[in-house]
Structure 1
Amino acid sequence: MSAPHAQVERADFDQFMVPNYAPAAFIPVRGQGSRVWDQSGRELVDFSGGIAVNVLGHCHPALVGALTEQASKLWHVSNVFTNEPTLRLAQKLVDATFAERVFFCNSGAEANEAAFKLARRVAHDRFGDEKYEIIAALNSFHGRTLFTVSVGGQAKYSDGFGPKIQGISHIPFNDLDALRAAISDRTCAVVLEPIQGEGGVLLAEQSFLQGARELCDAHNALLIFDEVQSGMGRSGELFAHTHFGVTPDILTSAKSLGGGFPIAAMLTTTDLAKHFSVGVHGTTYGGNPLACAVGCAVMDVVNTRETLDGVKARHQRFRTALERIGQQYGLFSEVRGLGLLIGCVLADAWKGKAKDVLVAAEKEALMVLQAGPDVVRFAPSLVIEEADIDEGLARFERAVVKLTSA
Structure 2
Amino acid sequence: MNDLRKRFEAALMPNYGVPPLALARGEGCRVWDTDGNAYLDLIGGIAVSVLGHGHPALVQAVSAQVATLAHTSNLFLHEPEVLLAERLLGLLGGDGRVFFTNSGTEANEAAYKLVRRHTGPDRTYVVAADSSFHGRTMGALALTGKASIREPFGPFAADVRFVTYGSVDELRAAVTGDCAAVFLEPTQGEAGVIPAPEGYLAAARAICDETGAALVLDEIQSGVGRTGTWFQHQHEGVRPDVITLAKGLGGGLPIGACVGFGPYATAFGKGDHGSTFGGNPVACAAALAVLDTIEREGLLEHVTKVGDQLAAAVEAIDHPLLAGVRGRGLWRAIVLAEPESAAVEAAARDAGFLVNAVAPQAVRLAPPLIIAPDEVASFVTALPGILGAAS
Give the TM-score, by structure 2 length. Answer: 0.96
Matches of 1:294 and 1:263, distance apart in 2? 9
Q: 1:222 maps to which residue?
A: 214
User: 1:160-200, CA deviations, whole angstroms, 9 ceiling, x for partnerless residues?
Assistant: 22421331000001100001111111101001101110011
Q: 1:147 maps to which residue?
A: 139
Query: Mean alpha-carbon deviation: is it higher for 382-391 or for 371-380?
Result: 382-391
Matches of 1:23 and 1:92, distance apart in 2? 39
Query: Mean alpha-carbon deviation: is it higher for 65-74 or for 156-165?
Result: 156-165
Following superposition, which runs of at least 4 residues in structure 1 exceed 4 angstroms of deviation?
none
Q: 1:119 maps to which residue?
A: 115
User: 1:313-366, CA deviations, whole angstroms, 9 ceiling, x for partnerless residues?
Assistant: 1112211221123xx21122221101000012111xx2x221111011111111
CA, structure 1 residues 25+370, in 2 after alignment: closer, same or farther (shift >3 Å)? Answer: closer
Q: 1:135 maps to which residue?
A: 127
Q: Which amino acid aligns with 1:18?
A: M
> How many residue pairs align between the two structures?
389
Q: 1:207 maps to which residue?
A: 199
Contact 1:366 1:395 in 2 (8 A): no
* Cα drift, residue 23 of structure 1: 4.0
Contact 1:146 1:164 in 2 (8 A): yes
Within 5 A, what are the aligned runs for 1:198-347?
Answer: 198-269=190-261, 271-303=263-295, 306-325=298-317, 328-347=318-337
Secondary structure at 2:39 match in 1: strand
Q: 1:402 maps to which residue?
A: 389
Contact 1:146 1:165 in 2 (8 A): no
Q: Which amino acid aligns with 1:35?
A: R
* Cα drift, residue 270 of structure 1: 5.1
Q: Does 1:368 align with 2:347?
A: no
Contact 1:105 1:111 in 2 (8 A): yes
Q: 1:4 maps to which residue?
A: none
Quick one: percent identity of the two aligned structures?
41
Give the aligned CA root-mean-square deviation in angstroms. Answer: 1.5
Secondary structure at 1:235 match in 2: coil
Q: 1:31 maps to which residue?
A: 26
Q: Which amino acid aligns with 2:27?
A: Q
* Cα drift, residue 397 of structure 1: 3.2
User: 1:227-279, CA deviations, whole angstroms, 9 ceiling, x for partnerless residues?
Assistant: 00000000000000011111100000000000111000011125322221110
- Structure 2 unaligned segments of length 5 or more: list them: none
Matches of 1:40 and 1:74, distance apart in 2? 36
Contact 1:98 1:247 in 2 (8 A): no
Matches of 1:113 and 1:131, distance apart in 2? 18
Secondary structure at 2:182 match in 1: strand
Q: Which amino acid aligns with 1:80?
A: L
Q: Does 1:105 align with 2:127?
A: no
Q: 1:71 maps to which residue?
A: 66
Q: 1:378 maps to which residue?
A: 365
Q: Which amino acid aligns with 2:108?
A: N
Q: Which amino acid aligns with 2:307?
A: H
Contact 1:366 1:396 in 2 (8 A): no
Contact 2:139 2:158 in 1 (8 A): no
Secondary structure at 1:371 match in 2: strand
CA, structure 1 residues 132+301, in 2 after alignment: closer, same or farther (shift >3 Å)? Answer: farther
* Cα drift, residue 8 of structure 1: 5.7
Matches of 2:150 and 2:219, distance apart in 1? 21
Q: 1:41 maps to which residue?
A: 36
Q: Which amino acid aligns with 1:374?
A: Q
Q: 1:177 maps to which residue?
A: 169
Q: Which amino acid aligns with 1:61?
A: P
Q: Which amino acid aligns with 1:366?
A: F
- Structure 1 unaligned segments of length 5 or more: list them: 1-6
* Cα drift, residue 154 of structure 1: 1.3
Matches of 1:299 and 1:147, distance apart in 2? 29
Matches of 2:87 and 2:199, distance apart in 1? 30
Matches of 1:272 and 1:25, distance apart in 2? 43
Secondary structure at 1:242 match in 2: helix
Matches of 2:340 and 2:169, distance apart in 1? 33
Matches of 2:310 and 2:244, distance apart in 1? 27
Secondary structure at 1:218 match in 2: helix
